[in-house]
């Protein structure tokens, strides 16, 4: 278990340099290795430790679900353009055809430019 913790710490420290290199493969590989290390650590936990961790992180997970749900709602397409971002109303009026809009401007564009 000490080896898994050391590997996890090293991988966490290496993620920023991996992103700085500009490669898209290395950070994904590092995150996959972190998942393997976390599974190795979690499989060796005692029952008391698991209960403590569950009690510690439950409020954090519930709180983290709120912004995740809001981001999901922002990406949903709405037919009623009065609820959406004003740019969708302008686009529908300019093109003179009905459109689906969303609460945000950009619905699903990849930030890295991968299509």
Q: Tell me the pLDDT band of 84, cut-offs 50, 70 and 90.
A: confident
Span 80-91, average pLDDT:
73
Q: Which DSSP string do the residues of 29-63 spell out, in sequence order?
A: HHHHHHHHHHHHHHHT--HHHHHHHHHHHHHHHHH
Which pLDDT value is given to residue 63? 93
pLDDT of residue 115: 46
* Tokens, residue 53: 């961790």
pLDDT of residue 66: 92
- Percent of the chain's residues with pLDDT above 70: 83
> Taking the domains of the chain in order of start, what are their residue ranges?
1-44, 49-97
What are the tens digits of pLDDT across the range 22-57? 677 777 887 888 888 888 888 888 889 889 988 998
The model's pTM is 0.45
Buried b (16+ CB within 10 A) or exposed e, 51-64: eeeeeeeeeeeeee
Task: Check residue 55 and give its pLDDT.
Answer: 92
Residue 71 in this model has a pLDDT that exceeds 90: no
Contact between residue 91 and residue 113 where contact means Cβ atoms under 8 Å apart: no
pLDDT of residue 13: 86
pLDDT of residue 1: 64
């Amino acid at each position: 278990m000490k080896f898994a913790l050391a590997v996890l710490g090293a991988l966490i420290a290496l993620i920023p340099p991996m992103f700085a290199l500009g490669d898209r493969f290395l950070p994904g590989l590092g995150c996959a290795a972190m998942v393997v290390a976390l599974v190795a650590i979690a499989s060796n936990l005692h029952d008391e430790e698991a209960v403590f961790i569950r009690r510690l992180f439950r409020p954090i997970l519930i709180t983290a679900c709120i912004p995740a749900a809001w981001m999901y709602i922002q990406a949903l397409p709405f037919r009623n353009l009065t609820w959406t971002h004003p740019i969708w109303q302008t686009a529908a009026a300019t093109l003179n055809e009905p459109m689906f809009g969303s609460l945000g401007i950009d619905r699903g564009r990849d930030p890295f430019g991968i299509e």
